[in-house]
Structure 1
Amino acid sequence: MVYAVVRAGGRQEKVEVGTVVVLDRIKASEDGTIQLTPVLLVDGDTVTTDAKKLAKVTVTAEVLGDLRGPKVVIQKFKNKTGYKKRQGFRADLTRVKITGIK
């Protein structure tokens, strides 16, 4: 079983070939593929964490599409002062499918 832990969008995700992952918005090249940076590689019983060996490893992914996350409502309220503030936020996301770990 081969899997990798990759760094993407300020987080780390465990991925295998064929896994579909939702990441923070990433710009893809014109052919729709991206490269992800591996932090850890597990190949059977072998665990690789050395930065020099991981520099040779490439994790490629195909962009399936862009989407937006759920709306988060931010409300602030202070009692007895008349202060109320309401704000919303939706994250820009990208859905990718892992195509190869080499």
Structure 2
Amino acid sequence: MVYAVVRAGGRQEKVEVGSIITLDRVQAAEGESIELPAVLFVDGAAVTTDAEALAKVKVTAEVLNDLRGPKIVIQKYKNKTGYKKRQGHRQDLTRVKITGIK
């Protein structure tokens, strides 16, 4: 079993070849290939965490599409003052498919 843990935006994701993950928006067109930095690499029983060895590990992914996350409502309220504030947010996301771990 070969998998890697990659840095994807502010998070870390466990990926295998063929897995589809959702990342924060990446500036790449559909069909383009991007490279994700590895934090951990597991090849069978061998676990690699050394920074020099991880620099040689290449995790490539193909951009499938751009999308937006669910709407989050932010609401602030202060009692007895008449202060109310309402705001919404939708995160920009990119869906990618892992094509190779070398």
Report TM bin, short chain.
Answer: over 0.9
Q: Name the CA shift for 1:98/1:12 in 2 (closer, same or farther; >3 Å).
A: same
Alignment-derived partner of residue 42 in structure 1: 42
C-alpha distance in structure 2 between counterparts of 1:101 and 1:16, whole Å: 8
Alignment-derived partner of residue 73 in structure 2: 73
Alignment-derived partner of residue 93 in structure 1: 93
Q: Deviations over 1:50-93 (max 9, x none)?
A: 00000001000000000000000000001100000000000000
Q: Deviations over 1:25-50 (max 9, x none)?
A: 01126861100000000000000000
TM score, norm. by length of structure 1 = 0.97
- State the superposition RMSD in angstroms: 1.2
What is the aligned-residue identity percentage?
76
C-alpha distance in structure 2 between counterparts of 1:4 and 1:101, whole Å: 8
Aligned pair count reads 102
Query: Structure 2 unaligned runs (5+)?
Result: none
